[in-house]
């Protein structure tokens, strides 16, 4: 009797049915593309609520405004993939912008001035990454100290006053120029994203980054250069932060020591919203790229509708909480599969 019942329960048409492979693949694709679908839906809503949203001028402004945060967020993504965090990116960006302005103002070739600025950013990042990796100091505290110290150095450069003013027109094109209707700074943002994606997905270093973030101790026991990888991703984050500072100085034609306050929070928000795990080992830069654009579209829509910055802060916070819940649900789904 028991055997008959067992056979009947397993017979076709009886009991709960499981979706076929095709339906499961379709559902998984929707889950993986959830952020892109939300972004596209938000663009449709924005175009309906504000007809000027889809104008060429607004699209160019949108890309230009999101590029600096996006470049920094790409570097932050690589740090977080190793289960680290970099709170010093805003201060490093401000320092990089001030350095390039001061050097150009002292008649240094602007290309060389940019390279010096990027080198300073990479050195700051490598220092904090090295302290975290080789002395086992918490990255949160190390970069928090860097946030304060580097900002202080930035103020000391000019006693807290803006720097520069005699900026070559060629240099100004980097931050404020256009190729047709596309801002050059937006092209740089796209190029940085593609390059970072290739490094993470197509190189041994990229494999090391994911391995270190997934299980640092296992990576060490496997012979991977864990400390060097951590130091390197922090150096990359510092260099990209300095690049953002250079581009802002190019656009403003002056170095501002007070620039980029709170940038680290925007960068982390974009990384988390883009699906990168705060504990490392999972995620990527394309998710961050879409997340940066999504947040920029949201703020742009609020501005077009005349909504204040306080409202934007509330909405952004709610979206981040929703993103965390969604990412957790995706992880649980993956674990069940």
- Two tokens, residue 103: 């050097």
The Cα-based distances of 320 to 68, 121, 269, 329 in angstroms read 20, 28, 7, 14
- Mean of all residue pLDDT scores within the chain: 88
List domains and CATH numbers for the chain: 53-331 (1.10.3470)
pTM above 0.95, yes or no: no
Helices then strands (H, E): number in the chain? 15, 2
Contacts of 90 (CB under 8 A, 6+ apart): 147, 151, 241, 260, 261, 262, 263, 264
Q: For residue 316, is pLDDT > 50?
A: yes
What pLDDT does 231 receive?
97
pLDDT band at 22 (very low <50, low <70, confident <90, very high): low
Q: Tens of pLDDT along 76-122?
A: 999 999 999 999 999 999 999 999 999 999 999 999 999 999 999 99
Contacts of 260 (CB under 8 A, 6+ apart): 89, 90, 91, 93, 94, 97, 244, 245, 248
Q: For residue 32, is pLDDT > 80?
A: no
Q: For residue 295, is pLDDT > 50?
A: yes
159: left (phi over 0), alpha (psi -120 to 50) or beta: left
- In the chain, DSSP assigns E strands to 178-179, 182-183
Contacts 24+ apart (CB under 8 A), 158-161: 158/98, 158/102, 158/255, 158/257, 160/257, 161/257
* Full 3-state SS string of 239-262: HHHHHHHHHHHHHHCCECCCCCCC
Dihedral of alpha carbons 128, 132, 138, 139, sign? positive
The Cα-based distances of 136 to 50, 146, 227 in angstroms read 51, 16, 10
Interatomic CA distance for residues 224 and 208, integer angstroms: 7
68-72, 97-101, 260-264, 300-304: range with lowest mean pLDDT? 300-304
For the chain, the C-alpha Rg in angstroms (whole number) is: 23
Contact 84, 132 (CB under 8 A): yes
Q: Which residue has the higher pLDDT, 146 or 4?
A: 146
Place of tokens 């080789």: 134
13: left (phi over 0), alpha (psi -120 to 50) or beta: left
- Two tokens, residue 204: 């041994």
What pLDDT does 333 receive?
66
């Amino acid at each position: 009797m028991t055997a008959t019942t067992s056979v009947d329960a397993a017979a076709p048409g009886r009991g709960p049915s499981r979706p076929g492979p095709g339906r499961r693949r379709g559902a998984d694709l929707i889950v993986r593309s959830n952020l892109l679908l939300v972004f596209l839906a938000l663009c449709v809503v924005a175009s309906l609520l504000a007809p000027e949203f889809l104008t060429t001028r607004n699209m160019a402004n949108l890309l230009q405004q999101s590029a600096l945060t996006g470049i920094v967020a790409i570097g932050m993504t690589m740090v977080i993939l190793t289960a680290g965090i970099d709170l010093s990116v805003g201060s490093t960006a401000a320092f990089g912008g001030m350095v390039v302005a001061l050097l150009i103002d002292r008649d240094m070739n602007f290309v060389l001035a940019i390279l010096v600025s990027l080198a300073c950013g990479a050195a700051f990042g490598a220092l904090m990454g090295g302290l975290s990796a080789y002395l086992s100091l918490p990255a949160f505290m190390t970069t928090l100290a860097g946030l304060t110290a580097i900002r202080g150095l930035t103020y000391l450069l000019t006693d807290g006053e803006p720097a520069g003013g005699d900026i070559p027109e060629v240099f100004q094109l980097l931050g404020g120029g256009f190729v047709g209707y596309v801002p050059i700074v937006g092209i740089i943002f796209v190029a940085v994203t593609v390059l970072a994606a290739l490094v993470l997905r197509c190189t041994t270093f990229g494999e090391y980054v994911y391995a270190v973030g997934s299980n640092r101790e296992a990576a060490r026991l496997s012979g991977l250069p864990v400390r060097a990888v951590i130091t390197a991703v922090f150096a990359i984050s510092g260099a990209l932060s300095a690049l953002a500072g250079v581009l802002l100085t190019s656009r403003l034609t002056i170095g501002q020591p007070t620039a980029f306050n709170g940038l680290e929070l925007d960068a982390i928000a974009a990384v988390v919203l883009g699906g990168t795990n705060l504990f490392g080992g999972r995620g990527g830069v394309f998710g961050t790229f879409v997340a940066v654009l999504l947040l920029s579209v949201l703020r742009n829509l609020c501005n077009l509708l005349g909504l204040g910055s306080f409202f934007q802060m509330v909405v952004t916070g709610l979206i981040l909480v929703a993103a965390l819940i969604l990412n957790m649900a995706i992880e649980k789904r993956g674990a069940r599969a």
